[in-house]
């Protein structure tokens, strides 16, 4: 059992420095100086179409300079992005007041990046926005709001977390999901194009695969979503692929299942809460009487469903690796063989010291026995290696946060 909380993310003491650090290598100084002079002197004289292409080339070059310097400094360290990133980039984070977005913003700031959070606070929390970030209250479904925010921020890249993400709700109101997740996403991409932002990291989902027969899931599997939530994420992936093909927009998709755990500052607070680990911990807190386990006769070692859980810090680190690199395409994120519902309850009992009554309920229609994502490609190409793969660590960190915030974030 893991005690305490090993993660601390103090804001590094930093002086104001040029965007790419105090003293970049001479080849980077020369390239950036040339690009800056071209951008300021020659670009206005170009025709509109040439101006757009040149501007995109310039911004893409800035991103590659930063990435090259990071790769050269961090090669073969085993933990690629734990040290501060010299003279970081400016990143616009949509959904940065939500669970995954808030933790990713925290780690981006710890790395030395600037963060602008764009969130409508419909399902996020103002208190979940890191105080070091700039907050913009806005809705992606309003094209004017995101266009203005993008124009003001002029970010180097975008991390896109903002989305509705409840499968059952999507089945009841598909239009709401397509309007928010697809149309809102298109508004975001058009706003990026208007100011020449060259790169986006999209937080997607393994729900785009539907219920594949092969486990663990690989990126080569056909994508056949079985609900509007998964379909809406897949549609936005396709939009990004076309913008890559026709507009040279760099994009990375990260597909995964269940984020869990917490940092000292930020944790999981949804309304309603549909995830297993926080609901188990609610019983230990006295907020609920028991845990319902839907089926105990599956073809698994203990009869209960097996699911993939990733520590929120490891998930955020994967997004940052995708941001700071130059790779494109889809990457699955998973955590080995997964954990069963009974394993989650057992370890939560040990950590909390609470009995946590559990009751077996009938199976839910369509629930597969196992849902596990294979992460070999992410390990190989992103250099992603989870720091907190153990279920006990994940639950301990979540429990620590819920004890400090028994009622979640201030409402």
Catalytic residue chosen out of the listed positions 229, 256, 298, 339: 229
Is the per-residue pLDDT at 46 higher than 90? no
Q: What is the maximum alpha-carbon separation in the chain?
A: 72
State the pairing for strand pair 339-340/306-307: antiparallel
pLDDT at 336: 81
- Please list, in sequence order, all residues whose beta carbon lies within 8 angstroms of the beta carbon of residue 316, skipping any fewer than 6 positions away: 100, 103, 104, 106, 107
Residue 408 has pLDDT above 90, yes or no: yes
b/e map 283-310, b = 16+ CB within 10 Å = bbeeebeebebebbebebeebbbbbbbb
* Most confident segment among 38-47, 74-83, 161-170: 161-170
| Separation CA 34–CA 53 (nearest Å) | 17
Which 8-state DSSP code applies to residue 337? T
Q: Kindly give the pairing relationship between strand 114-119 and strand 199-203.
A: unpaired
Query: Average pLDDT of 149-167?
Result: 97
Tell me the pTM.
Answer: 0.81
Q: Is the predicted pLDDT of residue 60 greater than 60, yes or no?
A: no
Residue 40 has pLDDT above 70, yes or no: no
Beta pairing, strands 291-294 & 358-361? parallel
Of 38-42, 49-53, 68-72, 112-116, give the range with the top mean pLDDT.
112-116
**pLDDT for 186:** 98
| Catalytic residue flag (residue 229) | yes
pLDDT of residue 364 exceeding 50: yes
């Amino acid at each position: 059992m893991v005690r305490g909380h090993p993660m601390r993310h103090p804001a590094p003491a930093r002086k104001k420095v040029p965007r790419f650090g105090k003293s970049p290598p001479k080849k980077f100084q020369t390239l950036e100086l040339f690009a800056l002079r071209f951008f300021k002197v020659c670009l206005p004289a170009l025709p509109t179409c040439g101006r757009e292409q040149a501007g995109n080339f310039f911004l893409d070059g800035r991103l590659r300079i930063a990435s090259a310097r990071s790769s050269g400094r961090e090669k073969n360290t085993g933990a690629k992005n734990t040290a501060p990133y010299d003279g970081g980039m400016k990143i616009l984070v949509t959904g940065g007041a939500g669970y995954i977005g808030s933790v990713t913003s925290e780690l981006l700031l710890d790395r030395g990046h600037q963060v602008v959070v764009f969130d409508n606070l419909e399902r996020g929390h103002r208190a979940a926005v890191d105080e070091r970030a700039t907050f913009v209250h806005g809705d992606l479904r309003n094209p004017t709001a995101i266009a203005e925010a993008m124009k003001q921020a002029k970010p180097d890249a975008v991390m896109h977390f903002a989305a509705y993400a409840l499968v059952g709700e999507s089945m009841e109101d598909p239009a709401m999901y397509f309007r928010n997740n697809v149309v809102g996403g298109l508004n975001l991409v058009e706003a990026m194009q208007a100011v020449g932002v060259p790169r986006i990291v999209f937080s997607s989902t393994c729900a785009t695969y539907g219920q594949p027969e092969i486990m663990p899931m690989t990126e080569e599997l056909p994508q056949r979503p079985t609900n509007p939530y998964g379909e809406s994420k897949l549609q936005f992936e396709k939009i990004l692929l076309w913008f890559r093909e026709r507009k040279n927009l760099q994009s990375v998709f990260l597909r995964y299942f269940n984020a869990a755990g917490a940092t000292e500052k930020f944790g999981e607070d949804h309304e309603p809460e549909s995830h297993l680990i926080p609901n188990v911990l609610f019983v230990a807190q006295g907020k609920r009487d028991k845990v319902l386990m839907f089926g105990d006769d599956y073809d698994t070692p203990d009869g209960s469903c097996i699911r993939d859980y990733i520590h929120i810090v490891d998930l955020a680190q994967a997004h940052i690796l995708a941001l700071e690199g130059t790779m494109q395409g889809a990457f699955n994120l998973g955590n080995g063989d997964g954990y069963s519902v009974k394993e989650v309850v057992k370890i939560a009992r040990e950590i909390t010291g609470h009995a946590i009554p559990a009751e077996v309920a009938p199976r839910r229609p369509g629930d597969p026995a196992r849902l596990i994502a294979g992460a070999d490609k992410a390990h190989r190409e992103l250099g992603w290696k989870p720091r907190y793969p153990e279920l006990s660590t994940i639950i301990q960190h979540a429990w620590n946060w819920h004890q400090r915030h028994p009622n979640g974030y201030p409402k």
